[in-house]
């Protein structure tokens, strides 16, 4: 690991962080065009674009594990599916259809993040 890899990402008091990023030529051209239309330097344009992006897609923190959120979503889905099912269906058939729709095809079970991983 090089010395630059070991550096902390903290900023010393009173100083702004300086970050180097690599953009494709096409993205750089788009940024430059955006900056020129607003009479900004490239650095100011990048800063403004990042601030806009963070404003419209703020960082979210989950205060509860994924399985709790998945459980809530599952309960909502069960309610919606139940409302759509034919009321003349027997209870057992209703439950079978709901389970099939909620659990999805078995071939996708490995892709589900709300289920425990099965040992291979």
Name 111's Cβ contacts closer than 8 Å, sequence gap at least 6: none
The SS3 assignment for 37 reads helix
Quickly count: other Cβ atoms within 10 Å of residue 45's Cβ: 20
Q: What is the DSSP letter of 119?
A: P
Q: What is the pLDDT of residue 1?
A: 46
> Domain coordinates of the chain in residue numbers?
17-56, 66-111
Which span out of 7-11, 19-23, 110-114, 115-119 was modeled with the highest average pLDDT? 19-23
Q: What is the pLDDT of residue 90?
A: 92
Quick: pLDDT tens for 35-74: 999 999 999 999 999 988 888 876 666 555 666 677 888 8
Lowest mean pLDDT among 26-30, 37-41, 53-57, 81-85: 53-57
**DSSP letters spanning 53-118:** HHHHS-----SS-HHHHHHHHHHHHHHHHHHHS-TTS-HHHHHHHHHHHHH--GGGGGG-SSSPPP
**pLDDT, mean of residues 85-105:** 89
Instruction: Provide the CB-side half-sphere exposure for 50 (13 A, CA).
Output: 8
CA distance 42 to 39: 10
Q: Does the pLDDT of residue 78 top 50, yes or no? A: yes
Averaged confidence pLDDT in the chain? 80
């Amino acid at each position: 690991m090089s010395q630059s890899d070991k550096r902390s990402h903290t900023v010393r008091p009173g100083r702004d962080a300086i970050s180097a990023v690599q953009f494709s030529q096409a993205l750089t051209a788009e940024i430059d065009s955006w900056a020129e239309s607003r009479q900004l330097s490239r650095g100011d344009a990048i800063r403004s674009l990042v601030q806009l992006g963070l404003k419209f897609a703020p960082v979210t923190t989950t205060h509860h594990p994924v399985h709790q959120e998945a459980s809530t979503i599952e309960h909502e889905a069960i309610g919606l599916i139940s409302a759509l099912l034919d009321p003349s269906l027997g209870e057992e058939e209703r439950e079978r259809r709901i389970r099939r729709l909620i659990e999805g095809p078995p071939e996708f079970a490995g892709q589900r993040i709300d289920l425990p991983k099965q040992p291979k």
